[in-house]
Amino acid sequence: MNLGIIGCGAIGTDVAKAADKMEEIEKIYLFDINMAKAKKLYKIIDKGEINPVEDFLENVEVIFEGASQQAVIKYAEKILRAGRDLILMSVGSLFDDSFRKKLEKIAREKNCKIIIPSGAVFGIDGLSSASIAELDGVTLVTTKPPSSLGKSYNKRTVLFEGNARDAVKKFPKNINVAASVSLAGIGFDDTIVEIVADPVVTRINHKILAHGKFGRLRAEVENMPNPNNPKSSYMASLSAIATLKRIVSPIQIGA
């Protein structure tokens, strides 16, 4: 299998390095609007090749996006129309209902998949399973060191309280997990999100609370920041790698 990677930052680099060691993956095509990042990554893997997305699109089976919402808007439709599976990290791009439904329609027509890793949160499988019956409420509380949000505070500060749709709009680079939780559960408008900056904490904390016919769910994780990007949880990279491993593995685990 050949893999395309859009975005050679912290997560893209982690995924490329892991993919480089997978026997099932023969070639890794790299693209980043910052050519220096692509060249830096190319130098540390064996299977890499730098090309524009349009050039490698026909040569890959799966494309991993780890760039930005803007990259999803620019490339997702082209990728799906080419019949390629898309692993999507910038999940916040899907808060636009018309855009998401358009991508879903293309994926159905072309018999390909939009694959969303669980990212920096735990409990997505359970939440997705619970939603098959009926969910009465889902809340995501995210607490980060101010530096992870590009802020500076001397005391615990609640930066946002509202629904997931507004959270993703206001914090497009910091709260992709809200989009994942929304899609797995009860949607962008009914998922409650609280974003907190706390100078005391050293780790990124995500807590999901849900209740419904299945019972009650509480899933909490304290993530270490990615060593190459403090705004991202290291778990996001691990989740992306696990998703890629799941694609190439004959054994599928999870809901």
Is pLDDT at 9 greater than 80 in this prediction?
yes
Same domain flag for 130 and 46: no
Q: Are residues 78 and 111 in the same domain?
A: yes
Only one residue has tokens 């830096």, namely: 40
| Alpha carbon 58 to chain centroid, angstroms | 24
Pair 183, 94: CB distance under 8 Å? yes
Task: Using pLDDT thresholds of 50, 70 and 90, give the confidence band for residue 101.
Answer: very high
Q: What is the mean pLDDT of the chain?
A: 95
Q: Catalytic one among 145, 206, 219, 234?
A: 206
Asked if residue 151 and residue 172 are part of one domain, the reply reads yes
Nearest to 193 by CA among 139, 230, 136: 139
> Using one digit for the tens of pLDDT, what is the confidence trace for 31-72?
999 999 999 999 999 999 999 999 999 999 999 999 999 999
Structure-block tokens of residue 35:
């050519």
Residue 39 covered by a domain: yes
Instruction: Mark whether 97 and 11 lie in a shared domain.
Output: yes
Q: Based on the fold, state whether residues 213 and 152 are members of the same structural domain.
A: yes
Stretch 222-240: mean pLDDT? 89
Note whether 241 and 194 are same-domain residues.
no
Do 153 and 109 belong together in one domain? no
211 has catalytic annotation: no
The amino acid at residue 117 is: P
The residue with tokens 């899933």 is: 219
Residue 255 lies in a domain: no
CB 7 within 8 A of CB 68: yes
Give the pTM: 0.94
Question: CATH number for the domain including 80?
Answer: 3.40.50.720
Q: What total of structural domains would you count in the chain?
A: 2
Whether residues 176 and 200 fall in one domain: yes
Band the pLDDT of 230: cuts 50, 70, 90. confident
Would residue 76 be called left, alpha or beta, if left means φ above 0 and alpha means ψ between -120 and 50 degrees?
alpha
Query: Is residue 46 a part of any domain in this protein?
Result: yes
- Whether residue 156 is found in the same domain as residue 132: yes
Residue 70's domain comprises 2-116+235-248
The amino acid at residue 132 is: I
At 161, which CATH number? Answer: 3.30.360.10
Q: What is the pLDDT of residues 166-184, one digit of tens each?
A: 999 999 888 899 999 999 9
CA distance 204 to 172: 16
Task: Please indicate, yes or no, whether residues 128 and 191 belong to a single structural domain of this protein.
Answer: yes
More confident position, 188 or 150: 188
